[in-house]
Amino acid sequence: MAKILIAEDEIDIRNLITFTLRFAGHEIIATSNGAEAVEKAQEMAAQNELPELILMDVRMPRMTGYEACKQIKADDRLVHIPVAFLSAKGQDSEVKEGFEVGAVDYIIKPFAPDQLTSKVEELLKQANA
């Protein structure tokens, strides 16, 4: 299936996302913050092994999801990769900021595993259309 890069600082949520999406057949590359996600995406680009989707929490140490998304979208090798935010914050201003930095979707936590899997499939179809 798809190669998906995730950035989530809360270990339990990161493990749940990883397990859920691996069970759905995806290859998961998990990072614990925005800075690691940017580093990993750039490393993958250098190896010509790009992720097909990036899922990021918004509030993380070292670098927020918004900052990480800006850096990813500034890299010509990564600009086309869809980024979706995962956040417990669903206020209009937060969602608006997510779209302004280049996200394609905003997934509100908590979510059921089957909802996450369905949303990921939808995002992958949109990206490949």
- What is the spatial distance between Cα 74 and Cα 66, in angstroms, rounded to a whole number? 12
Kind and range of the H or E element at 87? strand 83-87
29-76 pLDDT, tens digit per residue, is: 999 999 999 999 999 999 999 999 999 999 999 999 999 999 999 999
- pLDDT over 80 at 123, yes or no: yes
Give all domains of the chain, ordered by start, each with its CATH number.
3-128 (3.40.50.2300)
Check residue 60 and give its pLDDT.
94
